[in-house]
Chains A and B, each alone.
Chain A
Amino acid sequence: MPGPISATTPDWHDLAWGAVLALTGLAVAGYAALHYEFGTLRRMGPGFFPVVLGLGLAGLGLLIAIPARNRPGQVRPFAWAQAVGVIGSLLVFGLLLDRIGLMASTVLCVAISSAVAPRGGFLWRAVLTVAVTALVWLLFVAGLNLSIPVWPWSR
């Protein structure tokens, strides 16, 4: 939901992202120019497309950033806690799955991701964790027989 327009701030979102995209474009073009053959128009090398695209992205990044300097921006809320919880639960699942197995990583993943819900209380989180873990076992282990380490000792 866009917030109220404030007349004093620059459009920070566009300013920052415009700069990031411009730098990304330059980095892509530079890296491709150094590492891959550019070729000719008739016989394009593997570097041609990335160099042209990188320069294009750099130009577009500037087009986004420059007008944003003195344009009032919208205040857009960023759900920090929710973003950290969701991304963190995926990282935990991805990094630990091979080590502690499906059941334990599912428990951790649900516990971490439900911790950032805007409603307090411990009981519903515990019930949800058990329910999702049971569902995962039913669907993916009993049902689909996915080849995946299920328990910490079943590697």
Chain B
Amino acid sequence: MESLERILVEHPFLKDLSPEHVHLIVGCARNIVFEPNKFLFKENEEAHEFYILRSGKVALEIYTPEYGPITIQTIGEGEVLGWSWLIPPYEWNFDGRATELTRAIALDGKCLRGKCEDDHVLGYELMKRLASVFEQRLYAMRLQLLDVYSGTTPKIKK
């Protein structure tokens, strides 16, 4: 537990969170490793975890009949992954696949929701941090949608 606590304190997502709150979160945390090509989660499955990535890379994929799985974004070291644990019906909207050896701290979503309900200061603190992640991802997604490099580029190859 102590080493998990140390890892969490050092992660950019939880930077400057009070030691008491980190301690509360540790109660929901477990260390986890994904081999390359292992799925962290699949679309429509219950989203019961939230991942704090320590190293490696995870591809968020959507399956398309035309091209098969398309990677829409990769998430890497120092980032967090997943907010479906927070929003009913608590189901994943994408597949999440480790593209290389990936180390993460998995936080149990139900446990975390419970802690946030019990301690609104912790809840607000986490929501602020997640809102900032939402904002950055939305910002990036808008630019991606603009397809600024398009012009005469053909469709992607299989």
The answer to whether A and B assemble together is no
